[in-house]
Chains A and B, each alone.
Chain A
Amino acid sequence: MSVNHFWTAFAFEPFMNALLIGLSMASIWLIAALGLAIVYGTMGVINMAHGEFVMLGAYTTYLLQSAFGLPFLLCVPCAFLIVAAIGAIIEKLLIRHLYKRPLDTLLATWGLSLVLVQGVRLMVGPEPKNVASPAFLNASMQFWVFELSWFRVFIFGVTIAAFVVTWWLLQKTRVGLMVRAVTQNKEIAAAHGIDAGRVYTLTFAYGAGLAGLAGAMFGAIKNVFPDMGAGYIVEAFLVVVVGGVGSLAGSLVSALGLGEIYSVFAYFTNGTFAKFWLFLLVVIFLRFRPQGLFSEALARR
């Protein structure tokens, strides 16, 4: 049966490369999930439009590149800033009115994602666009048994950088202290003079900005099209849920774990089976650790 080979035998070199692909998957899922993790951890808001922020980041890059001729490496931070600004506006107009109703935020942000996808489709057009990345990122390299493209290394590096910067912001700066205070107990934090509303706006904008950053890079690996965000959202959610709410380290470990498990499953069977079993595994995992890998007991919201 030629079409249905459900089992690939072990071979050293391809298997090592599968592990490397897993690492690359993990970095993609982590950068897509990081903003989601911060927003959910701090605000308790499940942002279903997160994937659409990724999409907006990709379109921002595309537009900056095609209209103003900005070099790709400069587009990446611009995508962060522009999408963060959009996030701040959306938080002020919509999200802030729904803090007491987590399920409703989920639904309202789904509505938002529909509006964003269709809006972009109507304004920019449904056909896929290309983002050109610099030549040196398009090359691939080879060492020992591994073969990988520089672009994957670039994404990996940006993800690590974004992770470290986020950790630093949260743990070492005054704003981060405020964010952590509001996360633990919004009322007490407010009683100490912290403007919780502003912290929420900042957090949401930062989360959106991270999605924009991710989008700038994803647009260059694949095409840019209006519903590209849907392709990342489920995996990103699972990374957050498995990692544990409000735990950056948890997101890192869970992205690594899920990426490697997926890639190894996909090596032995195929991508679809791997996805199916990975998702099922996550559900069973949540049966035994509903709070995720790293989550400490959080204040009830």
Chain B
Amino acid sequence: MSNPYHNPKAQWAAYLVFFTVLACVPLMVENTFTVNLLARFLVLGMLALSVSLVWGYGGILSLGQGIAFGLAAYGMGMTMQMQAQDPENMPIPSFMLTNELTELPALWEPFWHAPTGIALALIVPTLFFAALGTIMFQARVAGVFVAIVTLAMLSAWYSMAFDMQPYTAGFNGISPPNPLQLGGYSVDPYSATAYWIALACLTALTLGLKALLHSKFGLIIQAVREDPERARFLGYSVAAYQVSVFTLSGFVAAVAGVLWVMIVQYVSPTALEVSFSVTMVIWAAVGGRMSLIGAIIGAFLVNGMQSFLGDELLYGFLLVLGGLFIVIVRFLPNGLAGLLESVLGRFGKRAASSDAGGPV
């Protein structure tokens, strides 16, 4: 008997159970604030998913996943803000008036139309990742340099969002007054509907990525991670695969950004903070970066712990988080999923040896 952890059927079954349980949660939870909190966790899980894809499978340590998240979040924030504006009486958001703008900037014009706005919120960050990825990977920038370049771009975007007061409301951020209106419906952030929308996106993306990683593409991606040079010698365009996986991870983070603003009705430069992007990496590391579902669970665990401990203990929490991260990196590089893998492997071996009636 081999390790059940590696059995594809068992893996799909685990994914199915996981998402079914998550889908039932709002039926059991009455408190709307809890539903909203859990919906936020789903979005953060989606960010861990994007890290698991790009770092765990692609071997690319991106510290800039927050760029896609933040840009998408701003796109969504602008869309929802414009839904509250009236072309006749109140054509521009009030924070612009206080910043002495008299007409709507061209940058904001497309966001009058919500579907266009949401599409832009998804497309622009994805294209940015495609462009940045092309620049980096064609030059064979790799390893820690990717981490530094993505970090630099992130901090550049952060200062833009922070400093361009008239366009982004700066430090205060954009807080659209009403929930998202979509096709005549209003998506109340505290409703189970919002939770299910987030869950549907998370499920679709996770299962889609899972299938993709089981395909030939997924195998080549992992070959590139293990040894780019050999993959190149085998005739694969390493850069093309790296750009694809990086862009895809940007898209996943962008979806998370859109959903986040739908759920919290607020966006500020904190979405683009360096520490936030590195925290995503911590979630994935805790849960296990080589497992999509593990990374998602890592995000749930760390954030669950954080909100359980509450704000008073925040500094203490960050101390613990830093320490935990050091311990995980040092002793458990594959996170909790890696732990599960070795435990299941041991069980499998024991079963096999008792079957054979002796050591194999």
Contact indicator A283/B318 (Cβ below 8 Å): no
Using known A-B contacts A272-B164, A288-B139, A290-B141, determine if residue A122 contacts B148 with beta carbons closer than 8 Å: no
Q: Does A203 contact B (CB under 8 A)?
A: no
A64 to chain B minimum Cβ distance, whole angstroms, is 25
Q: Does B140 contact A (CB under 8 A)?
A: yes
Q: Does B119 contact A (CB under 8 A)?
A: no
Nearest to A111 among chain B residues (CB) is B325
Q: How many residues of B contact A (CB 8 A)?
A: 48
B155-174 interface bits toward A, Cβ cutoff 8 Å, 1 = contact, 0 = none:
11101101111100000000
Contact partners of A107 in chain B: CB under 8 A: 61, 281-282, 285, 325, 329
Query: Of the candidates A103, A108, A230, A282, which one forms a contact with B147 in the assembled complex, judged by CB atoms under 8 Å apart?
Result: A103
Contact partners of B278 in chain A: CB under 8 A: 110
Q: Does B153 contact A (CB under 8 A)?
A: yes
Summarize A's interface: helix, strand, loop or mixed: helix
Summarize B's interface: helix, strand, loop or mixed: helix
Contact partners of B164 in chain A: CB under 8 A: 272
Contact partners of A288 in chain B: CB under 8 A: 139
B288 to chain A minimum Cβ distance, whole angstroms, is 14
Contact partners of B323 in chain A: CB under 8 A: 111, 115
Nearest to A301 among chain B residues (CB) is B143
Contact indicator B138/A108 (Cβ below 8 Å): no
Contact indicator B100/A108 (Cβ below 8 Å): no
A136 to chain B minimum Cβ distance, whole angstroms, is 35
Nearest to A290 among chain B residues (CB) is B139
Contact indicator B100/A2 (Cβ below 8 Å): yes
Interface-side segment among A69-77, A78-86, A93-101, A177-185: A93-101
Query: Of the candidates A115, A279, A287, which one forms a contact with B153 in the assembled complex, judged by CB atoms under 8 Å apart?
Result: A279
Interface hits, B107-160 → A, CB 8 Å: 132, 135-136, 138-141, 143-145, 147-149, 151-153, 155-157, 159-160
Q: Does B9 contact A (CB under 8 A)?
A: no
Contact indicator A115/B326 (Cβ below 8 Å): yes
Query: Of the candidates A114, A241, A284, which one forms a contact with B321 in the assembled complex, judged by CB atoms under 8 Å apart?
Result: A114
A108-119 interface bits toward B, Cβ cutoff 8 Å, 1 = contact, 0 = none:
101111110111
Q: How many residues of A contact B (CB 8 A)?
A: 46
Contact indicator A113/B100 (Cβ below 8 Å): no
Contact indicator B144/A113 (Cβ below 8 Å): no
A3 to chain B minimum Cβ distance, whole angstroms, is 5
Q: Does A286 contact B (CB under 8 A)?
A: yes
How distant is the Cα of A110 from the Cα of B329 in the complex, in angstroms?
11
How distant is the Cα of A119 from the Cα of B135 in the complex, in angstroms?
39
How distant is the Cα of A241 from the Cα of B64 in the complex, in angstroms?
17
A270 to chain B minimum Cβ distance, whole angstroms, is 8
Contact partners of A222 in chain B: CB under 8 A: none
How distant is the Cα of A97 from the Cα of B143 in the complex, in angstroms?
19
Q: Does A1 contact B (CB under 8 A)?
A: yes
Query: Of the candidates A2, A102, A103, A115, which one forms a contact with B319 in the assembled complex, judged by CB atoms under 8 Å apart?
Result: A115
How distant is the Cα of A237 from the Cα of B154 in the complex, in angstroms?
14
How distant is the Cα of A103 from the Cα of B59 in the complex, in angstroms?
10
How distant is the Cα of A270 from the Cα of B163 in the complex, in angstroms?
10
Q: Does B322 contact A (CB under 8 A)?
A: yes
Contact partners of A283 in chain B: CB under 8 A: 132, 135-136, 149, 152-153
Q: Does B333 contact A (CB under 8 A)?
A: yes
Contact partners of A234 in chain B: CB under 8 A: 151-152, 155, 274
Contact partners of B138 in chain A: CB under 8 A: 287
Contact indicator A97/B330 (Cβ below 8 Å): yes
Using known A-B contacts A121-B315, A272-B163, A283-B152, determine if residue A241 contacts B329 with beta carbons closer than 8 Å: no
Contact indicator B319/A230 (Cβ below 8 Å): no
Q: Does B342 contact A (CB under 8 A)?
A: no
Q: Does A104 contact B (CB under 8 A)?
A: yes
Contact indicator A286/B318 (Cβ below 8 Å): no
Contact indicator A111/B329 (Cβ below 8 Å): yes
Contact partners of B139 in chain A: CB under 8 A: 286-288, 290
Contact indicator A118/B61 (Cβ below 8 Å): no
Q: Does B4 contact A (CB under 8 A)?
A: no
Contact indicator B316/A118 (Cβ below 8 Å): yes
Contact indicator B148/A104 (Cβ below 8 Å): no
Query: Of the candidates A112, A115, A117, A280, which one forms a contact with B156 in the assembled complex, judged by CB atoms under 8 Å apart?
Result: A280
Interface pairs (17), CB distance under 8 Å? A1-B100, A46-B148, A94-B326, A103-B61, A106-B61, A106-B147, A107-B325, A111-B322, A237-B148, A241-B145, A276-B156, A279-B152, A282-B152, A283-B152, A286-B135, A286-B141, A288-B139
CB-CB nearest 10 A-B residue pairs: A114-B322, A111-B325, A272-B163, A115-B322, A118-B319, A111-B326, A279-B156, A108-B329, A276-B156, A279-B152
Q: Give residues in B with beta carbon < 8 Å to A.
A: 61, 99-100, 132, 135-136, 138-141, 143-145, 147-149, 151-153, 155-157, 159-160, 162-166, 274-275, 278, 281-282, 285, 315-316, 318-319, 321-326, 329-330, 333
Q: Give residues in A with beta carbon < 8 Å to B.
A: 1-4, 46, 94, 97-98, 101-104, 106-108, 110-115, 117-119, 121-122, 126, 230, 234, 237-238, 241, 270-272, 275-276, 279-280, 282-284, 286-288, 290
